[in-house]
């Protein structure tokens, strides 16, 4: 006990950061110098203090009930929309099972026995809100609210030009690390290795080309990664390596930047040699950068989600502008906010924000689509709906 009545709670695995997003363009050797290292994978340490009362047959049970109620209160702040609440219902036990893992510290303010013999503990509880948000992401509660964004990891088109085989291999290692991270945290992603080489080559800057590849792959987000990997020194038989990585996340549909941050490895020297040291440094720096960037992106997505869940709406078979305008008017009527992303060649794509379930939204569009003869539902996926005019 570090102060009277105040008890620190040892962090558990449940408090570790979860979740990351990445679609990556990698450029090795582009940063001018290695920056000084900083603590790895900084946690989102945002905390919330709540005062709660717990009840039980014993003081211990009452305290446990109080801690759970504190977690419930913080979850209530993070899980706000109707659909989030429904999604959370299926995973709530997994969150509450680790309730003590989210408690930074607590202070017992009062203890007493009620008339019926029930013990009551009143406590002020400091909850690590960031850890709960991370676990909600990993359990796909927030992803579902955000339309389950799809992520693509790709090598920067310019990053492979003129690079030695060694560095190209490290580039592939970094992207494999990204894909493994995404898979482990439950995010939908497309592996660049699965993209066909027959796709047309995009023109423009490296960023524009990366965005074009991500758009063809059906991704919602891509990230560019600039990395510096170098040998720093030698001490006897040990050769040391260090890496720094800059991650920048972009929205595919608009090209807008979502977040950017840097990650750093320690200065590493492994007994197995310099190559192993470099591999470990790349993996550590990439993991650090992804974690930092993801926290910023999730904050941005949550702010966007306040206006409703984003649906990607597409339509094909448009014959003229009047028909496109009529379809746009229908979407404007049924949604909270609408943005035309692209149109041409008989197609149009939109982002529509709505607080309704997908089935309800589709029904409303088709009902109002009576003004448009031949409007049919073509395909529905998670967060995506495509219509066709026949």
* Mean pLDDT in residue range 62-88: 71
Q: What is the pLDDT of residues 110-145, one digit of tens each?
A: 999 998 889 999 999 998 877 777 666 655 555 565
Q: What is the pLDDT of residues 136-180, one digit of tens each?
A: 665 555 556 566 678 887 765 554 433 333 466 777 788 888 888
What percentage of the chain carries pLDDT values higher than 70? 70
* Mean pLDDT in residue range 245-252: 84
**DSSP single-letter state for residue 216:** H
Please tell me the predicted confidence (pLDDT) of residue 24: 37
Direct distance between the N- and C-terminal alpha carbons of the chain, in angstroms, rounded to an integer: 72
Please tell me the predicted confidence (pLDDT) of residue 378: 92
> Do 6-15+39-142 and 150-305 have matching folds?
no
* pLDDT surpasses 90 at 295: no
Whole-number mean pLDDT of the chain? 75
Angle at which helices 129-138 and 274-305 cross, to 10°: 100
Neighbours of 54 (CB within 10 A): 21
Q: What is the pLDDT of residues 226-239, one digit of tens each?
A: 778 888 998 888 89
**Of 258, 30, 277, 296, the residue nearest 156 (C-alpha):** 30
Whether the CB-CB separation of 101 and 10 falls below 8 Å is answered with no
- Domain 6-15+39-142 of CATH type 3.30.1660.10: yes
Between 62-66, 88-92, 94-98, the lowest mean confidence (pLDDT) is in 88-92
**Of 75, 128, 74, the residue nearest 106 (C-alpha):** 128
- Domain 309-389 of CATH type 3.30.1370: yes
Answering whether pTM is above 0.75, one says no
What percentage of the chain carries pLDDT values higher than 90? 21
* Residue 346 tokens, joined: 């008989």
Please tell me the predicted confidence (pLDDT) of residue 151: 84
* pLDDT surpasses 90 at 347: yes
Q: How far, CA to CA in Å, does 111 sit from each of 9, 119, 240?
A: 20, 7, 56
Binning pLDDT at 50, 70 and 90, where does residue 97 land?
A: low
Neighbours of 325 (CB within 10 A): 10
Nearest 5°: the CA angle 63, 61, 67 is: 35
Please tell me the predicted confidence (pLDDT) of residue 350: 94
Please tell me the predicted confidence (pLDDT) of residue 34: 32
Binning pLDDT at 50, 70 and 90, where does residue 301 land?
A: confident
The structural domains of the chain, with segments of one domain joined by +, span 6-15+39-142, 150-305, 309-389
DSSP 162-207: T--HHHHHHHHHHHHHHHHHHHHTT-EEEEGGGS-TTSPPP-S-HH
CATH number of 150-305: 3.40.50.10610
**Which residue would you say has higher pLDDT here, 68 or 16?**
68
**312 SS3 class:** strand
State how far the Cα of 123 lies from the Cα of 374, in Å rounded to an integer.
62
State how far the Cα of 291 lies from the Cα of 284, in Å rounded to an integer.
11
């Amino acid at each position: 006990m570090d102060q009277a009545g105040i008890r620190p709670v040892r962090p558990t695995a449940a408090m570790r950061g979860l979740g990351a997003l990445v679609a990556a363009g990698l450029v090795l050797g582009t940063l001018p110098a290695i920056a000084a290292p900083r603590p790895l994978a900084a946690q989102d340490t945002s905390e919330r203090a709540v005062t709660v009362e717990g009840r039980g047959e014993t003081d211990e049970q009452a305290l446990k009930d109080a801690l759970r109620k504190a977690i419930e209160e913080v979850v209530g702040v993070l899980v706000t929309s109707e659909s989030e609440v429904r999604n959370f219902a299926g995973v709530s036990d997994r969150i509450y099972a680790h309730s003590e893992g989210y408690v930074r510290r607590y202070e017992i303010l009062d203890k007493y026995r009620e008339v019926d013999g029930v013990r009551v503990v009143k406590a002020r509880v400091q909850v690590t809100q960031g850890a709960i948000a991370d676990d909600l992401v990993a359990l796909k509660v927030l992803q579902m609210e955000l339309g389950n964004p799809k992520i693509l990891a790709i090598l920067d088109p310019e990053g492979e030009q003129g690079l030695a085989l060694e560095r190209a291999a490290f580039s592939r290692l970094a992207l494999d690390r990204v894909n493994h991270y995404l898979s482990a945290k439950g995010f939908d992603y497309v592996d660049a290795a699965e993209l066909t080489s027959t796709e047309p080559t995009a023109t423009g800057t490296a960023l524009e080309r990366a965005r074009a590849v991500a758009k063809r792959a059906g991704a919602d987000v891509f990230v560019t990664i600039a990395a510096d990997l170098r040998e720093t020194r030698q001490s006897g038989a040990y050769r040391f390596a260090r890496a720094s990585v800059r991650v920048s996340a972009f929205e595919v549909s608009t090209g807008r930047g979502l977040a950017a941050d840097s990650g750093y490895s320690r200065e590493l020297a492994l007994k197995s040699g310099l190559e192993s040291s470099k591999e470990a440094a790349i993996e550590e720096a990439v993991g650090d950068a992804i974690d930092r960037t993801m926290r910023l992106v999730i904050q941005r997505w949550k702010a966007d989600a306040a206006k409703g869940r984003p649906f990607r709406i597409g339509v094909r078979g448009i014959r003229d502008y009047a028909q496109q305008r009529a379809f746009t008017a229908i979407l404007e009527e049924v949604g909270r906010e609408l943005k035309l992303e692209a149109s041409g060649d008989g197609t149009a794509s939109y982002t529509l924000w709505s607080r309704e379930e997908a089935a309800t939204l589709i029904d409303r569009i088709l009902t109002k689509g009576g003004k448009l003869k031949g409007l049919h539902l073509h395909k529905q996926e998670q967060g995506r709906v495509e219509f066709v005019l026949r």
